[in-house]
Amino acid sequence: MIVGLTGGIGSGKSTVAHFFRQLLVPVYDSDLEAKLLMTESEEVRLALKKLFGHEAYRGKALNKTFISDLVFRDKDKLEQLNQIVHPAVRKHFEQWAEQQKAPYVIQETALIFENGTQDHYDSIILVTAPKHTRIQRVMERDGVTESQVQARIRNQLPDGDKTVLADYLIENIDLTKTKETVDRIHEQLLSKTLL
């Protein structure tokens, strides 16, 4: 069974993913794997150089600042970047999932509903948190300004729109409650795999 784990920036997807890993559920971190593919996949590297020019890389390292500055100002460039990276991540995830020996696996990914890929999953877990909490978390984590976080949030669907589309909801404010919710969802997913 394939489960999607999603949520807006700063909602705490990584924290929830960690709790599932503690339950020995295989979790695929799409952001991490995308970064690895942008550095290690020759096919992706060539496509990015074609899109952004040779400045996209400094030697073998991805020039993240250069690319981020471009795509946050130009929605077309962001869309083109996604059209290169998302299919590569999807293919890599499918190969990874086939190798797992667990009742279900989780793909942690930020933009399931935004990309219209909800049909790829048997169930979807949405992680939410109040907007001010999310902004504070991202400012502390990434060392960015409130307006930079707000710009990123604007590129994502509002939680209200996603809540009606998700199968499970985790409000990630209190870690003890979050862990209890993860445990409950885990039991429900395991029972689904037995049907």
Length of the chain in terms of residues written? 195
Radius of gyration of the chain (CA): 17
Residue 69, pLDDT above cutoff 90: no
Tell me if 82 sits within 8 A of 47, measured CB to CB.
no
Confidence band for 41, pLDDT divided at 50, 70 and 90: very high
Selection from 166, 170, 167 nearest residue 183 by Cα: 170
What confidence score (pLDDT) does residue 25 get? 98
Distance CA 42, CA 84 (A): 12
What confidence score (pLDDT) does residue 133 get? 96
Confidence band for 60, pLDDT divided at 50, 70 and 90: confident
Report the run of H or E that residue 57 belongs to, with start and end. Answer: strand 57-58
Residue 195, pLDDT above cutoff 80: no
Lowest mean pLDDT of 126-135, 146-155, 182-191, name the range. 146-155
